[in-house]
């Protein structure tokens, strides 16, 4: 909840008693002066023994005053009662909900210029990137690395606007950073951003002391760059860079930066280009810097410095992406469950049955061939199940979910999100698992 919003509130209720709970009603109350409740009555239907139901159809509505402070918590009470049955039952439960409290599922930023950082964990935002590794080892140009501390300048095949300035060259460093403009400066010791040093316009994807030439392998410490003209982007890949000083037991990192040509990709009002970080393999993440810095070195958007993450930043991990853009956040429209048989022209159409007990089917359609990601998350944004990742041609699709997570364990009753992501759009739909019968 944020100040000025009116939100739908869906509550999951579990019957832990020894009898069926018939026709459960709920009345929501709050004495907070910043909170009003336009719709305080919700219905849950019949809740069987040891089962959970949510008021997905008859939800509550909560309005937050625009004067409510951020990072605020409000207390609620919910009066639950049964109607009919062997005997009437009534219980009051209390809980708190935050207002304007940022967490790792929110975008990081903006900085003073207007840059935001969206991670692939920020699933409720339209700008959230989809991790989609682009391997360029066999097609890119390899940089000859004469020593462990080395920076070289290469040309970008298009004008890339960064903090309001157009660039057509970029410096690539062995120590996990690039910087727009030409030069040969080196910096192996990472600092927090902004850093008043000789390297302006830095983009730090994994700034640390890398490229240990003593590591026992020939297929390491490789850096490639590639002009993907078909997709209008420039890619830089650090392949298996060994952390310095690990001797015979080196730790390797594999990551890449993608610069999207502003002339072909989503162009925010400022006209600055999108920068995407992708992490294929992360081994040692407690001593690196991740973030971007402006051209005058007096402003930056920091994501993490030496394991000190921003409140809204997710921890670096394998198969992870971060997008830097000046496009302001837009919440994904979380579609209501549908039961119609027709399919939309594009995106999620329906989940049926919904609510479900043991299994449900997700229906979606693609207007053109796309790289597709279909994943299940819990209501807190934690990844539960990857249903599909890969390239699919135009067409209509359906994928069943048996309620199990990626480890093969059955999930509990409650609310879930299914997210469909392609090259051009993200869409999320709510799922409700009402019970699980063994």
Q: Mind listing the pLDDT tens digit for each residue in 19-55?
A: 889 999 999 999 999 999 999 999 999 998 888 888 8
d(CA 376, CA 418): 5
Query: Among the ranges 5-19, 118-132, 139-153, 406-420, which has the highest mean pLDDT value?
Result: 139-153
Tell me what pLDDT residue 268 has.
Answer: 78
Q: Which of 176-180, 236-240, 313-317, 344-348 has the lowest mean pLDDT?
A: 344-348
Instruction: Map out the domains of the chain as residue ranges.
Output: 6-99, 116-325, 334-433
User: Helix, strand or coil for residue 69?
Assistant: coil
Q: 319 with 330: CB under 8 angstroms?
A: no
d(CA 130, CA 332): 14
State yes or no: pLDDT of 156 exceeds 90. yes
Structure confidence by residue, pLDDT tens digits, 322-361: 999 999 988 765 544 443 344 445 588 888 887 788 889 9
Structure confidence by residue, pLDDT tens digits, 52-68: 888 877 889 999 999 99
Please report, rounded to a whole number, the percentage of residues in the chain having pLDDT higher than 70. 93
How large is the average pLDDT for residues 149-168?
97
d(CA 339, CA 351): 7
How large is the average pLDDT for residues 270-286?
95
Q: How many CB atoms lie within 10 A of CB 147?
A: 9
Q: How many CB atoms lie within 10 A of CB 154?
A: 17
Q: 253 with 176: CB under 8 angstroms?
A: yes
User: Helix, strand or coil for residue 268?
Assistant: coil
Do the domains 334-433 and 6-99 match in fold? yes
Nearest partner of 274 among 203, 328, 325, judged by Cα: 325
* Domain 334-433, architecture per CATH: Sandwich (2.60)
Q: In what order do the strands lie in the sheet with 90-99?
A: 41-47, 21-29, 72-81, 90-99
Q: 316 with 232: CB under 8 angstroms?
A: no
Categorize the per-residue pLDDT at 396 as very low, low, confident or very high, splitting at 50, 70 and 90. very high
**Per-residue exposure over 385-402, b if at least 16 CB sit within 10 Å of its own CB, e if not:** bebeeeeeeeeebeeebe
Average pLDDT, the chain: 89
The CA-based diameter of the chain, rounded to the nearest angstrom, is 82
How large is the average pLDDT for residues 399-422?
89
Tell me what pLDDT residue 338 has.
Answer: 40
Tell me what pLDDT residue 65 has.
Answer: 95
State yes or no: pLDDT of 80 exceeds 80. yes
pTM beyond 0.75: no
Tell me what pLDDT residue 121 has.
Answer: 86
d(CA 372, CA 219): 31
- Domain spanning 6-99: CATH 2.60.40.10: yes
Categorize the per-residue pLDDT at 295 as very low, low, confident or very high, splitting at 50, 70 and 90. very high
Residue 178, strand partner residues: 172, 203
How large is the average pLDDT for residues 176-187?
97
Q: 369 with 394: CB under 8 angstroms?
A: yes
Tell me what pLDDT residue 169 has.
Answer: 98
d(CA 140, CA 292): 25
State yes or no: pLDDT of 106 exceeds 70. yes
User: Helix, strand or coil for residue 329?
Assistant: coil
Tell me what pLDDT residue 337 has.
Answer: 41
Tell me what pLDDT residue 216 has.
Answer: 67
Please report, rounded to a whole number, the percentage of residues in the chain having pLDDT higher than 90. 63
Q: What is the dihedral of CA 138, 141, 147, 149, to 10 degrees?
A: -110
Q: 168 with 159: CB under 8 angstroms?
A: yes
Show the tokens assigned to 51: 């089962």
d(CA 128, CA 9): 24
Q: How many CB atoms lie within 10 A of CB 412?
A: 13
């Amino acid at each position: 909840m944020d100040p000025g919003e009116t939100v739908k509130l869906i509550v999951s209720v579990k019957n832990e008693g020894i009898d069926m709970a018939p026709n459960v009603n709920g009345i929501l109350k709050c004495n907070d002066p910043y909170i009003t409740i336009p719709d305080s009555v919700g219905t849950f239907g019949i809740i069987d023994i040891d089962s959970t139901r949510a008021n997905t159809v008859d939800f509550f509505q909560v309005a937050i005053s625009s004067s409510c402070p951020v990072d605020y918590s409000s207390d609620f009470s919910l009066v639950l009662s049964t109607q009919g049955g062997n005997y009437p039952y009534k219980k009051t439960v209390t809980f708190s909900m935050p207002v304007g409290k940022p967490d790792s599922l929110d975008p990081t930023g903006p900085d003073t210029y207007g840059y935001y950082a969206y991670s692939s964990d920020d699933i409720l935002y339209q700008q959230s990137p989809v991790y989609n590794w682009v391997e360029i080892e066999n097609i890119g140009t390899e940089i000859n690395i004469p020593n462990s501390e080395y920076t070289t300048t290469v040309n970008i095949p298009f004008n890339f606007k960064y903090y309001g300035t157009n660039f057509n060259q970029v410096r690539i460093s062995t120590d996990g950073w690039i910087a727009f403009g030409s030069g040969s400066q080196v910096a192996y010791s990472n600092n927090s951003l902004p850093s008043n040093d000789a390297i302006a316009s830095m983009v730090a994807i994994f700034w640390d002391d890398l490229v240990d030439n003593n590591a026992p392998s020939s297929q390491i410490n490789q850096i490639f760059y590639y002009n993907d003209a078909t997709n209008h982007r420039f890619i830089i890949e650090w392949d298996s860079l060994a952390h310095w000083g690990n001797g015979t037991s080196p730790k390797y990192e594999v990551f890449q930066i993608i610069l999207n040509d502003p002339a072909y990709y989503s162009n925010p009002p400022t006209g600055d280009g999108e920068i995407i970080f992708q992490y294929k393999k992360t081994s040692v993440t407690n001593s690196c810097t991740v973030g971007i810095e402006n051209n005058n070195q007096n402003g930056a958007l920091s994501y993490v410095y030496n394991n000190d993450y921003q409140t809204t930043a997710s921890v670096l991990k394998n198969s992870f992406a971060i997008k830097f853009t000046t496009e302001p956040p837009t919440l994904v429209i979380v579609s209501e469950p549908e039961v119609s048989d027709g399919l939309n022209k594009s995106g999620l159409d329906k989940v049926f049955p919904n609510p479900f007990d043991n299994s449900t089917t997700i229906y979606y359609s693609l207007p053109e061939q796309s790289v597709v990601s279909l994943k299940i998350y819990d209501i807190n944004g934690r990844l539960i199940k990857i249903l599909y990742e890969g390239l699919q041609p135009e067409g209509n699709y359906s994928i069943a979910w048996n309620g199990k997570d990626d480890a093969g364990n059955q999930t509990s009753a409650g609310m879930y999100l299914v997210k469909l992501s392609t090259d051009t759009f993200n869409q999320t739909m709510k799922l409700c698992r009402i019970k699980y019968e063994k």
